[in-house]
Each structure stands twice: as C-alpha cells, then as structure tokens.
Structure 1
C-alpha cells in the first residue's frame, strides 16, 4: 500500500553528533498523565471512520474478499455514523398516520422496524463488528425538517407550532419510535441501539446561510425533537446543533451570539452534548489556506467550553461527527496529493482532540467507504473516500483498492496504553505518549510548514532500557503521501520530522516502566468572557477554585479575536505578577482568514497561583475581543524538570516571500534592520517580552540603523508591520 520499509542502525533519522535540535521533547514514562478521569488511549474515540457496519459499500469487487475484516480488524478501527438509514426508512417505507395528518403511522414504523431487525439478524457476518459501532444516528435535512417537502410516500411532517404541539413534534415522534422499534441488543435480536442521536445534520448551513429561516426556529425544533425522542428512549444521548462551520468570531462575534450562544441558552438544558464539524481549507480560491488546526481550533473549543461551564456548571462533552479538510481547489479526478491535504489535517486535529479526552464523546474522520453516491465518473470523484478504483485517475475501472486515505489508520494501527507526561519546547510541535506494558508510543505532529529537528529525552525509565525503536513517518514526498517505516536499536537521540508530518515511535523496552507518579490536568475557567479590547484599558478576570499541590505547572490560555496587524502580545498580570508573553502560538498565522481567532498560551509560574486568581490583560492598541480565559493546571506528584521553558519566541511569518534581518544580534548599542520592500512605509517597534513598546518609528527604507543604546540590557522583540503583515524577531541587548 505504498509503505516504505527501512532498517537503520542510526540512519537518516538521527542528527549528526553535535548538531543542535530545533525542538526538544521530554517523555516522562513514570508519570501518568490524567485529564479529568481519563488516562487511557481510547481508540473508539479517536481512531474511527464515518461509516456504519451495515453499509453495502463494504461489499463489491474489492482487492480483499472481506473488506470489513481487513480494515476494521487489520488496523483496529472503530465506527461510525449513520445519516442514511433513518432517512431511507422514512422516505421509502413509512406512511402517514391516517388518523393524524402530518404524523408517521406508528404501526408502520413498528412493522418496518421488525423487518430491519430480522434483516440484521440474518446478516451474521456483521455481528462480529458490533462492539466497534457505538453508532451516532443523525437525521438529514429533508424530509425531517417540516416545510412541506414530501417523502417518497407522498406526505410531509406537520408544521404545527402550538403549545400542545411545538414545532418539530411530529419529526421527533417518528425518530423516537424508529429508534425504539428498529434496534435490538445485538446479534439475532437486531443491531444495537445507537448510543448517540444528532437531531439534524448541519441545519443552519442549509436553512439560514442558504435559506430564509431563523436560528431561533431551528433551536425550538431541536427542543421538541429531543423531548419526543426521550419519550420513547431513555437510554440515548441527544446532541446538536451539528455546526458545519463554527465561525464564532464572524462580524465581531455576532455569529457566536446569534448561533451557539443562543443555542446553549435556548436548548442547552435538553442537550447531552455539543456537536460541531471542523474542516481545514488547505487550498481554496486558487491556493488560499484557511486552517482550523492549531490556535484557531483551540479558541473555538475554549469559547464553547467556558460558556458551557458558565451556564451549566459543567463543560458538556463534544461530538466531532465530521472533521478533516475540504479540498476545494482539487474537485475532480482523484490524486494522491488531494488525499494528503485531508491526511495532514486529520492527524493534527486528532492530536488536539486527544488533549481533551475527558470532554470528547467521539471524533469521526469524515471518510465514507466508497462514496459512489457522490462520484460521477473519473473526472468527478468525491473528495473523501477510503477506497478508489485501481485504474484511477486514468479511468474509473478496476477493482476497489485503498486510497492514500488509509495511511492515517496504518500510521495509528498499534497505539494504545496509559497516557504519560510529554512536553515539547515548541507550540508548533504536538506531542503525546502512551505506555502499554513493555511498549511505549511517542506521537509527534508538526504544525509548521517546514521540517523540524527534534531531540528526544526519555525520562523516568528507572531500570528500564529502550532496546529497539520502530518508526512510522507520514509525510509528503513530491506530490505523494509516504508512510515510511524504519527500525533501529535503542532510542534515537533525535529525529527529523517533515513539514506538516506525523511520526509515531514505538519503543520496545526490556521491562515495563513503573508508572508510579501522576500528573493531573485540570482546566479552570474565568467567571467572565468575551470582552471588547480597548487600548491601555485593563481587562480583569477572576479564576477561582484552583487546587494546588507541592509540584506543578500552569498555562494561562487567552482566546483572541482581532484584525490582522493588531497585537497578540498583551501585558498580562496574574495576582500582580507580570508574565512573559510568548510571540508564538500554535499553527499558522491565519493570514488567509478574515481575521485572527486563536488562543495564546502563556506559562504561569506555579508558585504564583492561588486558590482565587486575578488576571489582568492590557493591550496597547484598540479593537477586537478577548473571547475566553482559562487556566490549565498540572499537579505533579514529584518535581518535574523541563528541557526549556515554553517561551516560544519563534517567528510567525505571514508569507514566505517576506523577509527580515536583524544584525548584529546580540548587540551592545545599535542594530541594522533589513526588511523586504513590502514593509517600507510601515512601522518598526522594539518591545519588552511583556508587550510594552520601548521604541518605535516609521520604516522609510529597506536597510536602517536602529539606535538601541538607550535601552537596558536584556531580551526584547523587534517587530515590523505594514498593511496587516507582521514579522517578529528576538533581539538581545548586552
């Protein structure tokens, strides 16, 4: 399947002796990392596909005689979501109740449900996969939305909206009866009942963005449907509202107020979880890149988490029932590169989901099996497919073989175990680690658009020794995604991780490490959120109830929604102590998005924390919002030393064509500043690490001499900006 196999003694993945790694990674194999009550890798949550056991697309002219077994068992993959079964049943097999116009006939639902259960009972080859399928059942827009559109049987759901029959009651009754009558407890009794129900799939995308309905009506529909489903089923979890694109920051957060905040206010009490869909746009409108992976996704979650906690006293869990990438510029014929655009997003997003294992119900890589319903020939193939025809892209012929999309599952096929402490000195390197007996798994994901060199530090081994390392490296080579496998004795001192690539190192030890220490992660939210930013006016927040021990770490998380070119480096005080605010944040600079919406993560000295904490945030410039405020606290049972503090003074370059040089650096008095022509006419600033502007002036030529002799010795940031483009470098004055 296009895998490369290598055997190396030290080989290409090791740095030359004496070479300096760009990033250091620490893995403490004795330190169990617990998030909430979760400390195990749950493949059911994170290694799953947007499919159902009973889909006929598993069958056909495949390269293997049993595709379900080859894929699900071969790579240890879980299912699934079903948006078609309930729609088919309603459209083609359900009549109107003759006594109640606009309602489905209960007898017909029950009769068809018996047929469905009997059909499943007869398909004994499906039964072994039941434990891989705690299904999400979701209704599609039509014919479930009551607007007069008829089913194939010639009737439509009631549009009544009265106190006795709230809008959506008829739809909800049908869904409740269908769920009750069409499922058993597995095997010969019928398929297991879905654990989760989504009221309707992406309703605002269809009805508001491309329709004339109001969100308030859709949310009342959710309430009525949820009430009716629970009337017939007290053992399913119900969620909404299946956002297609949760762009909370749009129009100065008006979209947040009009949609998700309103939904939580109107329907939150009736929802067991929140459902969102998350997609990167890696190539849209001739190459523009609009990513959610990285800081944008963090801000999206943090805003929803904080408001959920403020309203309900808990962070209700999330269902990510679709995620990945939309490859707009690559509609048409299949290509390996198109698959790569999705692969790279899936792996980054998965690792960010894993950080929230305690508040995630399930995440589904949006990947239908064959998607023949969305393909119209070799030059018009559906973007998301696990399988493709063997002769593509030349012809839509041949047997069905895996597309390159399978490489995600091949990469993650073995990962399991207890989560242990992991740490990277760069926010652009996502890292996680698990231990299963005498095997440890270290996962590395690169958010940068360039390769990084990573120095590995395996700590907490006691008497255990790494005997052997197997590496899987998923990266782009030319225009083709490659899953390269290699093996070496011992632990590599360092590895090279390609641009936007993912690597999993499987460490084989001579004995199981003793995981007898703990790191307990807790997230605390401020009592206020979503505040407008005004220049030089402090925003004050309170974070209470923080539990502290003898050892630990803390990270202040600030969600920011600001126009491009505005400062992302505020002055921050925690209990009166000034923090060093990093310039770096996760992922890209969001230059192709309409504005910046992301989280900046600021290390807080553990000794500065109290049970109740005051956070003051001040920006030197006007505009935008501070959307969320949270404190991530790690309580350690022992002291933990890190390779480097997360200062993250790395460059966020808006375009590879823009350049900036500062020399000599370090300097005793003056420095030469050299910029690309794009920045002439803009402004340069020398700033303290806390964001205070120490010097500034206009950029009037490409090469300038900046006199910094009046500034005290220390570490500064020198920043240039023009027309929304910003570049920053670290400057050391002696």
Structure 2
C-alpha cells in the first residue's frame, strides 16, 4: 500500500467532509496475486430486508442437544456447554427421533398401513415428560433453529419401500403425512421440545431411486406427488409447520444439457411448488474424487441459486426460502480410513467457501447446516475398523487406534474462527471475484472476512473509507489455512497500522478490529435482485438472445448494478458473450468466481458483470450473443445497489488505463489530505479530475511518496 499526500489546489474546494476524485492511471504494472478490498465503515449494506449477521442461520451443527453423543468420556465435563455456548453455535437438524419412533410404533389395528394414534400419543407423552425432567437440556432450546427430516425408509411408499422394524408397511403418502403430523403434535410443544422450525418431507429420496448423480433421464414425478400428499396430510394434523423438499442430494441442473433440470427440479416446482414453504438442498464439493476436483463453490453454486430463483419467480410469482440442511465436502479419496487432518481441511475450506455464498443471501437462506455430526458412533464400521468421517469429535489415539478420551477434530477450527463475529453488515468489495468478502460492525468492533477461492496465496490491500475520523486501536488476525497436511488456525495481534495481509490459498481470514470509538453508520447501500422475463434459452451461433428486466426501482442518483448471466456449456465453448444493456455495449470480465470447472461434465456458472448505474432504467433490455453454438443461458438477474450518497469505489484492474474513483477525506486545517492507494498504482502516471470532469493535474506517483 502506498501513501499519496495531496496538497489541495485552487480548483479543489472543501465543500464536504469527504471529496471524490477520478484518477486515470497509465502504465500500471498488475500483480496477479494482489487484490484490493474496499471497506466502507459507515455504510449499512441491506440485502432485501436483512442487515445483520444471524448466527442462528450460519453457525450451526447437524445435531440436537438430546443426542447421547454429547455425553461420555470427553475431554471436558460438559461438552454441550463447551461447544455450543463456548463458540456460540446453534443446533440444526435431527433425523433420528422421528424415524426411530415410526420404526417402533404399532400399526393401527383398524387401519392397515397407518401408525396407531394411541401408541403415538403414549410415546409422545413419555418423551415430553422425559425431556421435562432433564433440566440441564432446557437452556439449549434457545439454540435451536431446528430442521426435522424423515429418513427415506420406512417413510417412502413407492418402489423399494421397506417395512418398519415391527414388520408393517406404510399404506400411502397420506399415512406417512398423518404419522408425521401426529408426531409433531405429541412429541413437541407443551412440556416437551419446542416445535421444529422446518420439516423436510423426506431425506434425499432421489439419491437411490433415480439412477445416481449423472442420470438425467428419470422423472421425479412420483417423488413430487409424494410431497404433495404428505404435506397435505401433515397440515391436516398441524397447520402451523413449515414444510419443504425435496431435499435434493445433487441439484445438478446442467446435467444432460439441462435435461436433469427439466425432469427433476423444474418438475418438482411445477407439481409441488405451491405446497412447499421452502426448497431443501444438500450442497457438496467433491475436492478429491478419483484424483479429480469437482466443485460447486464459486460460480456453480451462484448459477444454481439464480436459476431456481428465476424459475420460481416465473412459475410462482415469488422466490422461496432455502433450507440447506447439509453442506460441505464429500472427500471420496480419503474416506473408508481412519481420521486424518487432511480430510478435515478439505471439508473446512469448502465449508467457508459455500457459507460465504450463503451469507450473500441472508433473506433467502433460513438455515445452512454443515454436515458435521458430534461423534456418529452409529457409523463406525466394525468389520473394517474405521469410524464415520463427518465428525466433530475423535478419540485421542486416532488414527492409530480407536481409543482414548474424546477430543475435537480439526473441524472445530471453523467455530473457533467465527466465534466472535456479529453485528450490522457494512459495504465491502474486492477487485477479484476469487476473493469472497463480507464485513460487520458491532459498536467499537469490526469484523472483516476474507475467503480465497485461489489456489495460491494472495496479498490483500485493505482500503478503509469512512465519513468520520475512525482510529484503530487493535487488530486480531485469525487465519485458517493449510500447513503441510493439516489445517492450522493462526491467531495473532497485528499492528493497528496494518494495511495489507497475505491470505493463504483456499484459506479464510477474519480480522477483528477494535476502534477507539463506536462506529457511526449513517449511509446506506440497499441491494435488490430483479429477474428477467425469460430463462433457459438455447445458445445459437451469432444469434442474439434478448431478455427484459422490468420494474427496477432506483431510489436516487447514486448506486451500482451487477448483471448476473448464468450459462451452461460444454468445455471448449466460448464463455464470454457480446453484451448490450439498453443498446450500450458492456465489457464482460473474463473471470468468474472459482475455477474453470474442468473436471465437471460441463461448465455451469454465473458471470458477474458491472453495469453503469446511470444506464439502468425502469425497464431494461439485455442483448446476449455468443459466436458458437451449444448450451443454454440459464438465468439473467440484475443486482441493484441503491446508495444514499456517492461513496462507491471502482478498482477496475485494466492495463494500460485504469479509471478509479476514490473518496478523499481532507484536513481543513492545512488544506491537505492523504489517500492510500494499492501498490500496483505506484510508479504509474495519472491524470486527476474532479467530479465535474475538470482536469486538475498530471503527475507520477513515485515508489516512495509524491507531493502534488
């Protein structure tokens, strides 16, 4: 970071507490591993209606406090307290209780294939009374944003149906739903656990039944019909529950050139969409599968959300919230063996990358639960002698032997990293799509979150903007990265004057700032998404596709816009189109979040394209053209950021000429001020203009310091 001291000339007036200039740089040397991040401390970033970090949505575990896994020979006498309260973690999901009861409940003697209501009520009363007597568990009820899901068997009534352990089979989807509704009435509420926040009709019903991950020919019709009937039957017993599905293991829309989307997810929206309160997904990266890398993180997961949202708007007239009831990494090449730190690392890096995308949708994501089980001793393979892989805890002597006291696996490092984060969301932006950023302010505290999708380390230049004199008194740096074959969480106090840090490859850093005074937040950036009037258009060579994005609201004269065009194409096809917005040619960045998806069947991702705010109208026409044939434009979405003032900063890294807009905060006493510029601009010549376009000077910024 270089410091540029500027003397105010006669053409510059101190009319505001902050000034804005345009700097045009010539002859810039770019550094591929150097990224600028602009942080606006006093600007509240609201997404839809949400402007805070909600830990109950994002800092979660796939567990319920009633599980016996919390007890036993642990390193601490109270594991629940140490983990849930110690790291401020929320409980996320339970699939065991509702399934165990159905397997053991008696069949109704007067209605074959239905669970006996009397037996359900008796078992429910016993369960509630047992919970009421365990007072030490009651305080954790406020840590529940709980999802309850039915396992595939014995709930499923279609082909491959299995009987309960009592030997009888569910008669129909209506019988399944009736049991579930009665279960929630009898086992929850009154003196028992509170009612669940979300109910998944069934867990991953398509995983076994429809031919696996690569299939795109089988229809989801039977599963969609099942969801409709079950949801109706649940609501007949309990109308207050939020019900969703279809708990998709692999929402791979692009497979078979979007035939999988047509036969599964689109069909589900068409058949069951009106009955669902939310969409339920499981999202996993495959960072090690047969020596290859097949990832959702980055542009792929962005395209997946955008396509579902856009079709929901077209079909239903609104989007629906998401329950991400499992996410993380499936580590195929490291499974079926003892515990390894490297396997934990593969999960951790994905967990952070996917969560950063979820956090950009706080209005849409109701909860996101990493697939981390407390101990999962039920999953221990006694025949081959290896434990379940997705665990929070391990035995001290693993992997040499499955013995010793229970201690944390390295997955706890995620919770240690995020332990303190809270507050109001403030505006932050990076100059590279592969650096995911977020930021929050809470009184005198600030939290800057940096996550890398890059495979090499990156220098991050931190540019703070504020309308007030905000002094930093301390910075704590937490850096979750890989050291050798194990994840490490580096934590250190760094100098309050620090203006750049090095973010490790595929690593996450949280910088916790302490300021001398509470941060004043008095500006706003309000973000809204708008969806085009059409979707899933085939790409024809040199033939334009047109989309219309209408009813866009611009609340003022300042802001930004990003056009999100998602595409699915075979590898080797052109990914960068010719683009016009309202008949103006727009340059499309030749970059996107994450990697090139080379090990996936085809590319499916979102291009995020800055569009001048003043070009956006109430009704907008989008022109998209590719030079070659094949694939589809899956969705077209516009993000609009309405600003309360012109505090935007642009860092478009193009050579030989860059146009950068910088806020400057003057000192009226000596008519000078200092602006900190990214080091890639040192040694460049530039022309300075004021906001009216008047040329002020032309200088060279020296590698040391230049007065103007």
TM range (shorter): 0.7 to 0.9
Q: Does 1:315 align with 2:323?
A: no
CA deviation profile, 1:402-430 (whole Å, cap 9, x unmatched)? 00000000000000000000000000000
Partner in structure 2 of residue 727 of structure 1: none
Answer yes or no: is 1:144 the counterpart of 2:155: yes
Alpha-carbon separation, structure 2, partners of 1:386 and 1:488 = 30
Greater CA drift, 638-647 or 531-540: 638-647
Match of 1:437 among 433, 436, 443: 443
- Alignment partner, residue 465 of structure 1: 471
Pairs within 5 Å for 1:149-160: 149-159=162-172
Deviation at 1:125, TM superposition (A): 1.1
Residue 342 of structure 1 aligns to a residue whose secondary structure is: helix
Question: Does the alignment pair 1:573 with 2:580?
Answer: yes
What is the Cα-based RMSD across aligned positions, in Å?
A: 1.7
Cα deviation for residue 492 of structure 1 reads 1.3
User: Residue 513 of structure 1: CA displacement?
Assistant: 1.4
Cα deviation digits, residues 703-722 of structure 1 (max 9, x gap)? xxxxxxxxxxxxxxxxxxxx
Show the counterpart of 2:96.
84
Give secondary structure in 2 for the equivalent of 1:241.
Answer: strand
1:601 aligns with 2:603: no
CA–CA separation in structure 2 for the residues paired with 1:302 and 1:317: 13
1:269-348 to 2 correspondences below 5 Å: 269-285=274-290, 287-331=291-335, 332-348=337-353
| 2:531 maps to 1:525 | yes
| Structure 2 unaligned residues grouped into runs of 5+ | 1-28, 657-708
Q: Distance in 2 between matches of 1:579 and 1:647?
A: 15
Shift of 1:340: 0.2
* Aligned residue number for residue 125 of structure 1: 136
User: Do 1:318 and 1:362's aligned partners in 2 also have CA atoms closer than 8 Å?
Assistant: yes
On the 8 A contact 1:207/1:213 being kept in 2, the answer is: no
How far does residue 504 in structure 1 lie from its aligned partner after superposition? 0.1
2:559 touches 2:648 (CA, 8 Å); kept in 1? no
Maintained 8 Å contact 2:219/2:263: no
Answer yes or no: is the 8 Å Cα contact 1:584–1:648 preserved in 2.
Answer: no
Deviation at 1:100, TM superposition (A): 0.6
Cα distance in 2 for partners of 1:415, 1:592 equals 35
Structure 1 partner of 2:706 = none
Correspondence 1:407 to 2:409: no
TM superposition shift of 1:647? 6.7
Q: Secondary structure of the equivalent of 1:448?
A: coil
Query: Which of residues 485, 503, 511 is equivalent to 1:505?
Result: 511
- Matched residue, 2:570: 563
2:64 aligned with 1:58: no
- Per the TM alignment, residue 491 of structure 1 is displaced from its structure 2 partner at its CA by 4.0
What is the aligned counterpart of 1:34 among 13, 22, 46?
46
In structure 2, the partner of 1:654 is none
Contact kept in structure 2, 1:445 and 1:503, CA below 8 Å: yes
| 1:365-514 alignment, distance < 5 Å | 365-376=370-381, 379-460=385-466, 462-514=468-520
Quick one: distance in 1 between partners of 2:650 and 2:481?
A: 27
Other structure's SS at 1:535 match: coil
Residue number in structure 2 paired with 1:220: 225
Aligned residue in 2 for 1:196: 198
- Which structure 1 segments of 5+ residues have no match? 1-17, 160-167, 650-734
Q: How do 1:90-105 and structure 2 match up within 5 A?
A: 90-92=102-104, 94-105=105-116
85 and 115 in structure 1: CA distance in 2 versus 1, 3 angstrom threshold:
same
Q: Is the 8 A contact 1:52 1:80 kept in 2?
A: yes
* Partner residue, 2:11: none
Q: SS at 1:588's partner residue? A: coil
Distance of aligned partners of 1:533 and 1:590 in 2 relative to their CA distance in 1, 3 Å threshold: same
Query: TM-score, normalized by length of structure 2?
Result: 0.86
Q: 1:633 matched to which residue of 2?
A: 640
CA distance in 2, matches of 1:553, 1:519: 9
- State the secondary structure of the residue aligned to 1:468: strand
Evaluate the alpha carbon distance shift between residue 607 and residue 143 of structure 1 in structure 2; reply closer, same or farther with a 3 A threshold.
Answer: same
8 Å CA contact 1:426–1:648 kept in 2: the answer is no
The one-character-per-residue Cα deviations of 1:492-548 (angstroms, maximum 9, x if unpaired) are 110000000000000000011110110000000000000000000000000001111
Q: Of 170, 175, 179, which aligns to 1:170?
A: 175
Q: Deviations over 1:471-509 (max 9, x none)?
A: 100000110100000102314110000000000000000
The whole-number CA distance in structure 2 between the counterparts of 1:107 and 1:200 is: 24
1-side partners of 2:78 and 2:655: how far apart? 49
CA–CA distance in structure 1, aligned partners of residues 655 and 576 of structure 2: 12
**Deviations 1:376-427, CA, capped at 9 Å, x for gaps:** 2585221210000100111100010000000000000000000000000000
**Shift >4 Å, 4+ stretches:** 18-21, 210-214, 646-649
Deviation sequence 1:316-363 (CA, Å, 0-9, x none): 011100000000000111110010000000001111100000111100
Change (3 A) 1:35 1:647: farther
Q: Is the 8 A contact 1:556 1:629 kept in 2?
A: yes
SS in structure 2 at match of 1:134:
strand
Within 1, Cα distance between the matches of 2:146 and 2:428? Answer: 32
- State how far apart, in whole Å, the 1-side matches of 2:311 and 2:282 are: 19
Q: Distance in 1 between matches of 2:186 and 2:348?
A: 38
Cα deviation for residue 209 of structure 1 reads 2.2
Asked if structure 1 preserves the Cα contact closer than 8 Å seen for 2:287 and 2:293, the reply is yes
Displacement of 1:146 after TM fit? 1.6
Which range moves more in the overlay, 448-457 or 311-320?
311-320
Tell me, yes or no, if structure 1 residue 350 matches structure 2 residue 355: yes
**What displacement does 1:123 show?**
1.1
Q: Is the aligned partner of 1:359 residue 2:364?
A: yes
Between the aligned partners of 2:347 and 2:203, the Cα distance in structure 1 is 21
